[in-house]
């Protein structure tokens, strides 16, 4: 059978209930503090991501602008080169017509046959 109860068990249980109640209050305060800390960290993280995203966007925008500028410059160079070729070809044809008209006519006829054969 059960022997005599220890002295701390003979006391009324309201002291144990008080300490249990204060532990619950401490736990609630800890949970509230933890929630506030998580909210604060979430806000800091969202601010950081927003700032970092803005920086990345600005960098990409700048890089894109530079790439477009470079491509525009290369396109303009290509157009200028094509104009030079067109002008040179026009001068060569004019010179050829003046100095060798029959050779130029034969060459044009041959090129026409070649392009016609390739197209069909």
Range of the domain at 50: 25-119
48-60 pLDDT tens trace: 777 776 777 777 7
Judge whether 17 lies within some domain. no
92-110 pLDDT tens trace: 888 888 888 888 888 889 9
- Kindly report the average pLDDT of the chain as a whole number: 77
**The predicted structure's pLDDT at residue 116:** 92
The CA–CA distances, whole Å, from 48 to 34, 42, 45, 61, 75 equal 21, 10, 5, 20, 40
Token pair listed for 42 = 């979430």
Query: How many domains is the chain built from?
Result: 1
Judge whether 87 lies within some domain. yes
């Amino acid at each position: 059978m059960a022997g005599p109860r220890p002295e701390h068990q003979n006391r009324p249980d309201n002291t144990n209930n008080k300490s249990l109640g204060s532990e619950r209050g401490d736990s609630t305060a800890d949970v509230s503090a933890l929630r506030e800390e998580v909210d604060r960290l979430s806000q800091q993280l969202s601010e950081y991501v927003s700032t970092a995203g803005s920086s990345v966007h600005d960098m990409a925008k700048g890089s894109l602008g530079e790439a477009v500028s470079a491509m525009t410059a290369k396109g303009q160079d290509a157009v200028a080169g094509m104009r030079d070729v067109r002008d040179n070809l026009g001068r060569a044809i004019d010179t050829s017509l003046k100095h060798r008209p029959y050779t130029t006519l034969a060459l044009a006829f041959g090129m026409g046959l070649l392009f016609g054969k390739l197209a069909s």
